[in-house]
Structure 1
Amino acid sequence: MISFSLLCLVLLFPHRVIAQASPVFKNEKSKKVKITKAAEELSNSLDENDEAKIAQNYEKLANEFLNNGDNSKAEEYFKRALNSYTKLKLTDDKTRVTRSLAKAQENQKNFDSAIKNYEVAGSLAKDVSEEKINLNDANRLKNAANPASQKDYVDSNIELLKKEKKSQEVSEAYVQKAQNSLDLKDKKVAIESYKKALVYAKDKPEDVIKIKNEIAKVYVEDNQFDKALAINEKLLSDARQNKDYTAEIKQLQSLSSLYFEKKEPEKAISSLKEAYDISFQKGNSAEAKKSLSSLIQYYKTKGQNKESMALYEQFFENFEKLIHSDTTLIDAKTFQITEDKIRQLEKEKDLKDELISKKNTFNYFLIGSVVLLLLLFLFIVKALYSIKIKNKEIALQSLRREMNPHFIFNSLNSVNQFISENKELEANKYLTSYSNLMRNMMENSNKDFISLDKEVEQLKKYLDLEHLRFQDKFDFEIFVDETLDAERVFVPNMIMQPHLENAIWHGLRYLDQKGFLSLRFDLKNGKIIVTIEDNGIGLTKSRELKTTNQKIYESRGLNNTKERIDLLNELYKKNISFQILEKTGEEQGTIVEIVFPLIDKI
């Protein structure tokens, strides 16, 4: 009969009470109000589909469950908060919630999951201290079988949390230190740690009560019953003074346990009966069941079945009254309705998110298609542009190489002339200089710009060759402005050579006396001015003396230069200019001027 009655009680009144709203239990009412309010706020944020508020309210509700000792529910809502914060990519919030989740799992002895989440929180932490705190907790749990190893991690966390001024966590760390000391059989340090925890928990009365009860337990284990009784009686007195009936019932139950330990069963039974009576009067079925179970268990061990039956009959007679006065079931049902609403809103939110996701997927597909077409168009444009540029580069290279045949023809004629005149030394010298020049020209044939020193070297070798052939017709000089760094400055490759050739072949070689050819590189206002000046017969007289073929070649040479300059300007945006002037007045001759910007890299 007794066993059956106990079974009935267990089925009717589960230990875990989700939410109560009894007007006579102050702390319970406060807890219930907070949980209910947090649940309503969560419901509203889900209805609004505001992800940031949803995440905050999940966390808020989880914390209320954690404070109420419902670690399973706390874990459930911390996980949901974590999912929302992950979606929002809020690292600081993820770090905080992951640590809270680990605590809820640790409280449920789910150490593997707790360790993993402490480590994740440590890896997410931006602050070095915060990272160390989480890793200390992970290592503390990893060494659960070795209390001596745990001590250093707990002590490290206490110091770090003090620096961070996190009072509640400092209190929790001191509680961990106390438990660790108990594992190490050091009750003195355990009590000292609990007392230090009290200092940091002074703003949380419920935590203070829990810690003081733990201190009382340590005194009981150490057979210091008077100290334990003093703590429990003080807590009982405070509960009665504050009309905190739940705390009063719990302290009476704790006192009964203490009296049983002290071998004073009469006082223990008295305390249990008082706890049972208050539970009945105030409509707290959970605590009434707990007190009744302890009483029946005691009577059963003593073989006092009549007493246990009398208690059961009394309970059964007052059962209906207890049910009517206990709001636990109503409040549990009310919260269940709220929680069902939350679940429904979550499903609606998931559906909305899925629809939005599908819509976004379609939009992304559409945008992606447009972008792909745009990229394809840009690729085609770029390809066409590259082809155009490549064609221009080929054209430029072709124009640059177009100058060589005439020069080669003239050079070979010169060698032939030296040989016919039996001037073997001059022919040999000429061929050596010519081969050196041609080698330099071949090396640089694929370059649009070369350094000034290399260009000057090529032009000097060319002028030396022409001077070797027409040494009685002209002298020459090359001047480079000393402010120009010839090794770093770049100039168009072989763009001056055709004009030097024209000056010699169409101006200076027709003179009766020895002429002069000047090539200057000057730096003015950030621009390089190349001046080719001769005192030959001039453009007008030169045209009169030229054959038709010579006129065609000169015209082609000028066009070649203009085309090369145009192509260089298009390809490199260098704004190169070119002009040919005939000297006027008494002085005869021609001036060629090429201007381009100072170029220090290509």
Structure 2
Amino acid sequence: MSIKGVCFLCLLLSGACFEAIAQDSLRIYNLFDSVRRLPSDTGKVSLLLKKGGLNNRFFESHKIENPFWQEALTLSLQLKYPKGISQAYNELGTAKRNKSLYIVAEDYHEKALKAAEDAKDTSLIVFSLNNAGVDCRRQDKLQKGFDYHVKALILAERINDIRNVCVATNSIGNIQLTTEKYADAITHFNRALELEEKSNNQLGVAINLGNLGYAYQGQNKLDLAIHYYKRSLAINQKMDRPIGMAICYNALGAAYKEKKDYPAAMEYLKKALEVNDKVDDKVHVAESYLSIGKLLGAQGKHDEARKYMMQSIDISTFWGFKAMLMDAYKALATDFKESGEFKKSLEATDKSLLYKDSILDEKSAMALAQMQTIYEVDRKDNQIRNLEHDKMVSTLRTKRNVVITFFLAAFLLMAIVGGFFYIRHRNLKANKQTLQLELRSLRSQMNPHFIFNSLSSIHRYIWSNNQEEASDYLTKFSRLMRLILDNTQHTFVTLNKELESLRLYLDLESLRCNGIFEYRFLIDADINDDEVLIPPMILQPYVENAIWHGLVHKHPDEKGILDIEILLKKRSLVCTITDNGIGRKKAMEIKEKKGRLHNSVGMKVTEGRIDLIRKINNKEAKVTVTDLEDEAGNATGTKVTIILPAEFIF
């Protein structure tokens, strides 16, 4: 066995009979040692807390600190595990409260609250708030305790934690009972009672029934108080809970005493005395003897009263119940005074004051000892944190050296990669500038090509029409030329400007062809033609091709239709030009007959422009030509689809 194991075992055995506890001590030591050997993680913390709870009665009975909870706290601090820290402090705080060390208990529960808040665990926050509130109530810090329980109640209701709602509600009622706010206390006790009944918690029901009795007794509603005491007594009897029965019997005795029903009061107080024989804590026996003595004194039966009071004093002296001795000598002094024995009354008063002073001295010494305990705990926590800090600093130094080495290697790699991408980017930029110059050159070729075709059209129109119509045609043509020349100065123009120039062009061609075709524009409703941008003169060659190679060769009785549709699909502008002309196959046959087999300059230049747009933007840009046919396979026209990257002003 290790030195630590021997020390732990000696601690367990100190102040008790070796033969009685050796077996349990060895069993618990072996359990503790086996848990300590487990890997240090949060699972180990949970196991330590659980085993500490299962074996806590052993440690309390031998007045020993619970090592499982101490180890759970130490490990949680090392792991920086706030939930474990909170749970451990809550357990240790409650153990201290059970030993009446309320100052230490409050400090532990406040630390548990802070850790629960760090863990952001609402259930644990509520539990810690209620624990701290109870500690404050035991120290008569009523406002502080009230504030803790109100916060706990609000959070418990929010997460529907019925158990802690009951605890908070009952505690608030007890504070209001202490401050004599009986109506408010009754409201809270009734609510707690309703919740305990729904939860089928008989102990909680019994406690709240008793509390309601105290509240109604405070309002001097003695019959109602007695009713609730009896209900509480019935549940305690059903549960066979001696301490609860003794409390109810004493309460009933006090209530009947106030009603001046002395026989009934005596009956219940004697029952309390009988039940207290089954209670381990003999302070309740001393309290029952004292209550009977006071009752007899109130009836003027002084000799008999003093016998009971002296029995209370004998028991309290044997067990060292100083508070009970103070009350018993005070009651004895009052009884001597009422019977005119002033010297004995003074002697009893002196003894009462002597015990009062002794209690105050003990409280001061206990408070000092508790403050020392808090200091030692804080010092230990800080040592653990400092050790963890030193360990973390050492780890960080090692990591720092690794990081520096890695950073230098990464920097060198980034410099090489960055240099490669810089050179590549510079080459791409140069290529893009070259492509843009080519595009500008192609765009500028559109102007003379279009002007040449238009002038040829004007020449033919003037020879075939009268001078007024020729003048109108020339006016529209000049407007179109001005718009075209202006648009082609820019890489992109707004869609509405491009459509305006296209409408003018179609009006001119319709006039020149004597209205043999109609045209329609179909623009997507989602398109704002003031914001969408399009390369200038990109559609005109395909429109021109549709007119002169498809529509003009139709039979005079058949009306030509030209549809221009523009849609916005995701990040692409889809332009579709559809005609119901003779189709490409017949158009080619007509050209062969006329011996005109040269390629269209406008079409060739535009295809080159679209290809350059695709290369520059690295986005989809293409032209698709589809021959339209009916079910019999006869040509019904041609559809040209132009897909361009969507560009916007903003």
1:185 counterpart residue number: 220
Distance change (3 Å), C-alpha of 1:40 and 1:504: closer
Distance 1:136 1:461 in 2: 89
- Separation in 2 of the partners of 1:72 and 1:219? 37
Q: How far does residue 186 in structure 1 lie from its aligned partner after superposition?
A: 0.8
Q: Does 1:348 align with 2:383?
A: yes
Indicate whether 1:173 and 2:208 are aligned.
yes
Between the aligned partners of 2:280 and 2:170, the Cα distance in structure 1 is 41
Residue 506 of structure 2 corresponds to 463
Q: 2:152 aligns with which of 121, 126, 135?
A: 121
What residue is the counterpart of 2:342 in the other structure? 303
Residue 271 (structure 2) pairs with residue 234 (structure 1): yes
The offset of 1:92, in angstroms, is: 1.2
1:68-116 CA distances to partner (integer Å, 9 max, x unpaired)? 6665444333222212211221111212322333344345443332332
Query: What is the CA-CA distance between 1:224 and the residue it aligns to?
Result: 2.4
In the alignment of these two chains, the number of paired residues is: 517
What is the deviation of 1:41? Answer: 3.3
The 1:31–1:69 alpha-carbon spacing in structure 2 relative to 1, beyond 3 Å, is farther
Structure 2: distance between partners of 1:439 and 1:431: 13
Q: Is the 8 A contact 2:333 2:344 kept in 1?
A: no
Q: 1:37/1:162 Cα in 2 relative to 1: closer, same or farther (>3 Å)? A: farther
* Cα distance in 1 between the residues matched to 2:283 and 2:265: 20
Q: Does residue 559 of structure 1 match 2:636? A: no
Question: Compared with structure 1, are the counterparts of its residues 414 and 592 closer, same or farther at alpha carbon in structure 2 (3 Å cutoff)?
Answer: same
SS at match of 1:55: helix
Whole-Å separation in 1 of the counterparts to 2:174 and 2:474: 91
Contact 1:151/1:177 (<8 A) preserved? yes
**2:91 aligned to which of 30, 38, 60:** 60
In the superposition, the TM-score normalised over structure 2's length comes to 0.58
Q: Which residue of 2 aligns with 1:156?
A: 191
CA distance in 1, matches of 2:240, 2:448: 102
Aligned partners of 1:21, 1:530: CA distance in 2, in Å?
A: 105
Q: Distance in 2 between matches of 1:181 and 1:541?
A: 120
**Counterpart code for 2:72:** S
Query: For residue 122 of structure 2, what is the aligned residue in structure 1?
Result: 91
AA of the residue aligned to 1:284: G
On the 8 A contact 2:149/2:171 being kept in 1, the answer is yes
Return the match for 1:101 from 127, 132, 155: 132
CA contact (8 A) 1:257 1:268 kept: yes
RMSD: 6.4
Deviation, 1:187, is: 1.2
- Partners of 2:458 and 2:474 within 8 A in 1: no
CA contact (8 A) 2:565 2:575 kept: yes
Q: Tell whether 2:289 aligns with 1:252.
A: yes
In 1, Cα distance between equivalents of 2:211 and 2:367: 33
1:269 to 306, 309, 320: 306
Partner of 2:229: 194
> 2 CA distance for matches of 1:218 and 1:176?
13
Equivalent residue, structure 1, for 2:60: 33
Residue 113 (structure 2) pairs with residue 82 (structure 1)? yes
Q: Flag the 1:416–1:22 CA change in 2: closer, same or farther, 3 A.
A: same
AA matched with 1:45: A
Partner of 1:223, secondary structure, is coil
Distance verdict in 2 for CA 1:151–1:357, change over 3 Å: farther
- 1:44 aligned partner, one-letter code: E
Q: Partners of 1:429 and 1:141 in 2: how far apart? A: 102
- Alignment partner of 2:509: what SS? helix
Query: Hey, what's the Cα distance between the residues in 2 that align with 1:48 and 1:272?
Result: 52
Distance in structure 2 (CA, Å) of the matches to 1:79 and 1:408: 88
Equivalent position of 2:49 in the other structure: none
Contact 1:455/1:493 (CA < 8 Å) preserved in 2? Answer: yes
Distance in structure 1 (CA, Å) of the matches to 2:15 and 2:246: 22
| CA 1:298–1:501: 2 relative to 1, 3 Å | closer
- Distance 1:502-1:165 versus aligned 2 partners, 3 A rule: same
- Equivalence map 1:286-365=2 (5 Å): 286=322, 289-290=325-326, 293-294=329-330, 297=333, 301=337, 302-304=341-343, 308=347, 342-352=377-387
In the other structure, the counterpart of 2:74 is: 47
CA offset digits 1:344-381 (Å, max 9, x no partner): 433334435666898999999x99xx9xx99xx9xxx9
Output the CA distance in 2 between the equivalents of 1:457 and 1:285: 108
Following the alignment from structure 1 to structure 2, what is the Cα–Cα distance between the partners of residues 510 and 414? 16
CA 1:271–1:98: 2 relative to 1, 3 Å: same
- Identify if the C-alpha distance between structure 1 residues 212 and 95 changes in structure 2 by more than 3 Å, giving closer, same or farther: same
Kept in 2, the 8 Å contact 1:259–1:267? The answer is yes
2:623 aligned residue? 578
Asked whether 1:497 is paired with 2:539, we answer yes
Residue 322 of structure 1: aligned partner: none
Structure 1 position 560, deviation (Å): 0.6
Residue 100 and residue 497 in structure 1: after superposition, are their counterparts in 2 closer, same or farther (change >3 A)? Answer: same
Secondary structure class of the residue paired with 2:191: helix
Identity %: 14
Asked if 1:220 is matched to 2:257, the reply is yes
Q: Is the 8 A contact 2:312 2:328 kept in 1?
A: no
Matches within 5 A, 1:531-546: 534=584, 535=587
Contact residue 62 and residue 75 of structure 1 kept, 8 A:
yes
Q: Within 2, Cα distance between the matches of 1:503 and 1:561?
A: 17
The 5-angstrom pairing of residues 128-143 of structure 1 reads none
CA 466–436 in structure 1, closer or farther in 2 if over 3 Å, else same:
same
Listed as ranges, the gaps of 5+ residues in structure 1 are: 1-19, 24-28, 317-330
Conserved? CA contact 2:182–2:218, under 8 Å:
yes
Q: Distance in 1 between matches of 2:543 and 2:291?
A: 117
C-alpha distance in 1, partners of 2:480/2:198? 80
2:566 touches 2:576 (CA, 8 Å); kept in 1? yes
Q: Distance in 2 between matches of 1:404 and 1:115?
A: 89
Cα distance in structure 1, aligned partners of 2:68 and 2:107: 17
In 2: Cα distance, 1:403 partner to 1:227 partner: 123
Q: Distance in 2 between matches of 1:489 and 1:307?
A: 106
Structure 2 spans left out of the alignment, 5+ residues: 1-13, 18-55, 356-365, 416-420, 568-573, 628-633
- Superposed CA deviations along residues 364-414 of structure 1, whole A, max 9, x for unmatched, are 9x99xx9xx99xx9xxx9xx9xx99xx99x979x87986985688469858
Q: Distance in 2 between matches of 1:39 and 1:219?
A: 44
In structure 2, the residue matched to 1:13 is none
Tell me how far 1:559 sits from its aligned partner: 1.3
**Higher alpha-carbon deviation: 403-412 or 253-262:** 403-412
Q: Secondary structure at the match of 2:300?
A: coil
RCO greater where, 1 or 2, for CA within 8 Å and sep 6 or more?
1
- Secondary structure of 1:49 counterpart: helix
Query: In the alignment, is the contact (CA less than 8 A) between 1:506 and 1:542 conserved in 2?
Result: no
Q: Note the alpha carbon deviations across 1:549-587, whole angstroms, 9 max, x for none.
A: x95x6654321122234456x34xxx55436799xxxx9
- The farther-off stretch of 186-195 and 125-134 is 125-134
Q: Which amino acid in structure 1 is aligned with residue 545 of structure 2? A: A
Please give the TM-score of this superposition, normalised by the length of structure 1.
0.62
Q: Does 1:278 align with 2:315?
A: yes
